Amino acid sequence: MGIFNKIFSKDKKEKLDSGLEKTKESFLSKVARTVVGKSTVDAEVLDDLEEVLITSDVGVETTLKIIERIEERVSRDKYVGTEELNNILKEEIAGLLTENNTSDLVEFTVPKVEEGPYVIMVVGVNGVGKTTTIGKLSNQFKKMGKSVVLGAADTFRAAAVDQLIIWSERVGVPIVQQGMGADPASVAFDTLQSAKAQNADVAIIDTAGRLHNKVNLMNELSKIKKVMDKVVPNAPHEILLVLDGSTGQNAFEQAKQFSAATEINALAITKLDGTAKGGVVIGISDQMKIPVKYIGVGEGIDDLQVFNKTEFVDSLFN
């Protein structure tokens, strides 16, 4: 693993490697088939590679960008052997992630704000692992010694409130909830007041994951944001969109719709351990220009990791 040991701990790196195993095996085996019987990267290899990237859920626009960059390298260097293809792909994908505001995080952090707790509003459709991500994130913050308050503002599903209560008990952090059917903005308001009263470091607000009516979603999220800003200036500081990586291009469509409804500034991509569609991380980062901040690579409470592009690309190709 060379220099990569210096970035992630051995345990975290091994977890990332195993979490991306299905994606890596599928992706690299497809790449290997494109160069069978070939000694150089020619037009036919590039056509096959384009198909590999698209079928690996990298996305059409991002795929064309990668292929164009490889074509430029082939044209410039005149002769590019097929044995070099993996390294070239690795470099170009890492380059794309660098351009797309994706930081190389190593540890979980809580940015300092002028007043009140750091406020995270979590959005995403039902079933993507939103509540689980909130629970795991709370656990990581608590391990850092930070105090966390949860707000159960997804009041349209009784199960959402119940699940968040279970996570609050499991992690050992307080929760503010008013039950199913309550006004989400009222829950958010009470959560931030409670967090301020407790001098908490972080407040995490769960919200409803409905996309069937974008206007309603937009209005609801705007109302929640306005109410929070009255309690903590400039809240929420982070609007985190949770996406299910196993849904491939459907996750990309969700990202586009939520971005149209509210100002997403961070992404969490879950369930990467159970899918061969991890390439979607590359496409979403490139097309949305929103940094991927967290990835889910397992079901355990510690299996939410900060996204580190260097480690991600290394695990994908190593």
E strand intervals along the chain: 118-123, 148-152, 175-176, 202-206, 238-244, 266-270, 292-296, 304-306
The arithmetic mean of pLDDT across residues 275-298, rounded, is 91
Contact assessment for residue 282 and residue 290, using Cβ atoms and an 8 Å cutoff? no
* CA 259 to mean position of chain CA atoms: 14
Q: Which residue has the higher pLDDT, 231 or 208?
A: 231
* CA–CA gap between residue 301 and residue 172 (Å, rounded): 13
Give the count of beta carbons closer than 10 Å to the beta carbon of residue 13: 20
* CA–CA gap between residue 80 and residue 55 (Å, rounded): 24
Given a cut of 90, whether residue 208 has pLDDT beyond it is no
* CA–CA gap between residue 94 and residue 288 (Å, rounded): 16
Given a cut of 50, whether residue 1 has pLDDT beyond it is no
pTM over cut 0.85: yes
Given a cut of 80, whether residue 225 has pLDDT beyond it is yes
* CA–CA gap between residue 115 and residue 113 (Å, rounded): 6
* CA–CA gap between residue 314 and residue 12 (Å, rounded): 13
Contact assessment for residue 293 and residue 266, using Cβ atoms and an 8 Å cutoff? yes
* pLDDT tens per residue, range 166-178: 999 999 999 999 9
Pairing of β 148-152 and β 175-176: parallel
The arithmetic mean of pLDDT across residues 71-87, rounded, is 81
Given a cut of 90, whether residue 228 has pLDDT beyond it is yes
The arithmetic mean of pLDDT across residues 166-193, rounded, is 96
Given a cut of 90, whether residue 213 has pLDDT beyond it is no
Query: What is the pLDDT of the chain when averaged over all its residues?
Result: 89
Q: What CATH code would you report for 118-310?
A: 3.40.50.300
Given a cut of 70, whether residue 234 has pLDDT beyond it is yes
Given a cut of 70, whether residue 211 has pLDDT beyond it is no
pLDDT of residue 4: 40
pLDDT above 90 as % of the chain: 57
Instruction: Name the residue ranges covered by the structural domains of the chain.
Output: 2-99, 118-310
As assigned by CATH, the class of the 2-99 domain is mainly alpha
Are the folds of 2-99 and 118-310 the same?
Answer: no
Given a cut of 60, whether residue 227 has pLDDT beyond it is yes
Contact assessment for residue 175 and residue 149, using Cβ atoms and an 8 Å cutoff? yes
pLDDT of residue 20: 92
pLDDT band at 5 (very low <50, low <70, confident <90, very high): very low
pLDDT band at 2 (very low <50, low <70, confident <90, very high): very low
What DSSP assignment string belongs to 41-84? --HHHHHHHHHHHHHTT--HHHHHHHHHHHHHHHHHHS--BGGG
Output 29-37 pairs: Cβ under 8 A, ≥24 positions apart: 30/55, 30/56, 31/85, 31/86, 31/89, 34/85, 35/82, 35/85
pLDDT of residue 282: 92
Contact assessment for residue 104 and residue 285, using Cβ atoms and an 8 Å cutoff? no
* CA–CA gap between residue 32 and residue 175 (Å, rounded): 50
Contact assessment for residue 244 and residue 216, using Cβ atoms and an 8 Å cutoff? no
pLDDT of residue 3: 39
